[in-house]
Amino acid sequence: LKEVRVTLVRQEDQSYSAMIGAGILSTALADLAELQPGRRVFVVTDANVKAAGHLDTFANGHEVASYVIDPSGEQSKNMATVMAVLDAMERERFGRDSLVVALGGGTVGDLAGFVAAIFKRGVPYAQAPTTTLAQADSAVGGKVGVDSEWSKNAYGAFKQPCRVYADVATLATMDERGYRAGLVESAKHAMIADAEYFDYLDVKMDLLLRRDRTVLAEIAARNIGIKASVVQKDPEEKGLRQILNFGHTVGHAIETASGFQLLHGEAVALGILAAAKLAEDLGIAHQSERPRMAALLAKLGMPENCPANISDEALWEIMSRDKKAVNSVPRFVLVDRIGHAYCVDDKYSIAVDASLVAKALDAIRP
Ligand SMILES: NC(=O)c1ccc[n+]([C@@H]2O[C@H](COP(=O)([O-])OP(=O)(O)OC[C@H]3O[C@@H](n4cnc5c(N)ncnc54)[C@H](O)[C@@H]3O)[C@@H](O)[C@H]2O)c1
Ligand SMILES: [Zn+2]
């Protein structure tokens, strides 16, 4: 018997910067040429983002190779589109010296990041998020991937971007409903991590809804700061990173059960209300917290009730398959006071008695 040990301890600095501002998309290409000299840029975007003019803004008069995902949105976040992008890069003779740019919302970011993770065994990529959701959440953290026929984000990887360009001017072209729903992730960040940020959102809400660029840049910076500080401590979601799932156990179940009629943020807003009720009934949170959370979500125009055609049974079924579930028992991230996620025995998601969950679901029924 012979044993040859292959020793490989990976210690790699994967740090990166997020650049935030209004109008920075037009200088991103030049910035990337400095950050990653000599690389050929390949942009992945979608039909809506291109039609809104953001691809032209990014190219800024230069010839840039691109793949435009069409139709836009979740329905194209699959392996067929990944193959189409990879084939387009091959056809145009892109090589190890490629640099992928994800220009769009979370769909484009997740898909393009996955392409970058596997093309020629991995090439660098940059995120240029153009939705409130992507600028708050998906553009940082390095989770990339696509859906299967059976489940969301079924195939993927961890792949950190080399830079993020959050240009808040791009948010001007978003439709109102998507714009507001994406802001729920901002509210979520404030609730789990920063009470002062919660007050900021509350006070600046009118400006925020008018898409004030100064406020948008401020919240992008705070969101990315909060997400980064969580991801830094737990990059592969072994514990702490779960707090980013606040509102998502019930939220994701409602989103799925609605057949995606509710937007992700709208469903998560309901999930936050349910989780707040759980924390209240468990005596973990003071009774003052839930109404304050509800008021902020109402200002964002989020629904207060779960659609009537979705039964508790349907929600249970989906929650028991949630990624935080243990032995099919759903777990919930709770907030004990606004700005602070609850933690017990180093655990950030807890199983809750079924009767309390039923009560929490009642709280989001008319
Ligand atoms: N990787 C992560 O950590 C992470 C975190 C949260 C969500 N996600 C993923 O993000 C995806 C949702 O992201 P999303 O809400 O940004 O969806 P999206 O990318 O599908 O964008 C929503 C819609 O807005 C359009 N759009 C995007 N930017 C626009 C702009 N500036 N102007 C006009 N229209 C624009 C898109 O074409 C699309 O039709 C989901 O697939 C989800 O799984 C990933
Ligand atoms: Zn979310």
Give the residues across from 125 on adjacent strands: 100
CA of residue 137 to ligand 1 center, whole Å: 10
In the 8-state DSSP scheme, what is residue 36? S
CA-proximal residue: ligand 1, atom 30 (nearest):
174
Note the pTM of the prediction, 2 decimals: 0.96
Please report the atom of ligand 1 found closest to the CA of residue 145. 1
CA-nearest of 158, 161, 160, 156 to 79 is 156
Any ligand 1 atom below 6 A from CB of 141: yes
Report whether pLDDT(11) > 80: no
Query: Distance (Å, rounded) from C-alpha 349 to C-alpha 240?
Result: 9
Considering every ligand atom, which ligand is closest to the CA of 129? Answer: 1
Please report the atom of ligand 1 found closest to the CA of residue 110. 1
pLDDT for 29-80, tens place per residue?
A: 999 999 999 999 999 999 999 999 999 999 999 999 999 999 999 999 999 9
Any ligand 1 atom below 6 A from CB of 108: yes
Any ligand 1 atom below 6 A from CB of 169: no
- For the chain, what is the largest distance between any 2 Cα atoms, rounded to a whole number of angstroms? 72
Reported as a pLDDT band with limits 50, 70 and 90, residue 237 is: confident
In the 8-state DSSP scheme, what is residue 192? H
pLDDT for 267-290, tens place per residue?
A: 999 999 999 999 999 999 999 999
Query: Distance (Å, rounded) from C-alpha 220 to C-alpha 214?
Result: 10
The amino acid present at 36, given as its one-letter code, is: Q
Question: In terms of residues, how long is the chain?
Answer: 366
Any ligand 1 atom below 6 A from CB of 258: no
Give the residues across from 30 on adjacent strands: none
Any ligand 1 atom below 6 A from CB of 127: no
pLDDT of residue 151: 85
Helix (H) / strand (E) element for 163: namely strand 163-167
Q: Characterize the bridge pairing of strands 335-337 and 125-129.
A: unpaired
CA-nearest of 262, 236, 103 to 170 is 103
Query: Distance (Å, rounded) from C-alpha 270 to C-alpha 302?
Result: 8
CA of residue 168 to ligand 1 center, whole Å: 15
In the 8-state DSSP scheme, what is residue 75? G
| Tokens 């799932």 sit on residue | 245
Q: Considering the chain, what is the average pLDDT of its residues?
A: 96
Cβ pair 296, 198 in contact under 8 A: yes
Query: Distance (Å, rounded) from C-alpha 261 to C-alpha 258?
Result: 5
Q: Characterize the bridge pairing of strands 143-146 and 350-351.
A: unpaired
The amino acid present at 185, given as its one-letter code, is: E
The amino acid present at 89, given as its one-letter code, is: M
Considering every ligand atom, which ligand is closest to the CA of 151? Answer: 1
Report whether pLDDT(203) > 90: yes
250's CB contacts (< 8 A; 6+ apart) are 270, 271, 274, 275, 315, 319, 332, 360, 361, 364
Q: Cα dihedral sign for 19, 121, 88, 80?
A: negative
Rounded alpha-carbon distances, angstroms, from residue 328 to 20, 279, 360: 41, 21, 19
Q: Please give the structure tokens belonging to residue 34.
A: 């400095």
**237: exposed, middle or buried (C-beta count within 10 Å: 0-12, 13-18, 19+)?**
middle
| Tokens 């959050």 sit on residue | 166
pLDDT of residue 306: 97
Q: Please give the structure tokens belonging to residue 214.
A: 């100064």
Query: Distance (Å, rounded) from C-alpha 127 to C-alpha 145?
Result: 14
pLDDT of residue 238: 83
pLDDT of residue 10: 80
Query: Distance (Å, rounded) from C-alpha 98 to C-alpha 62?
Result: 17
CA-proximal residue: ligand 1, atom 10 (nearest):
106
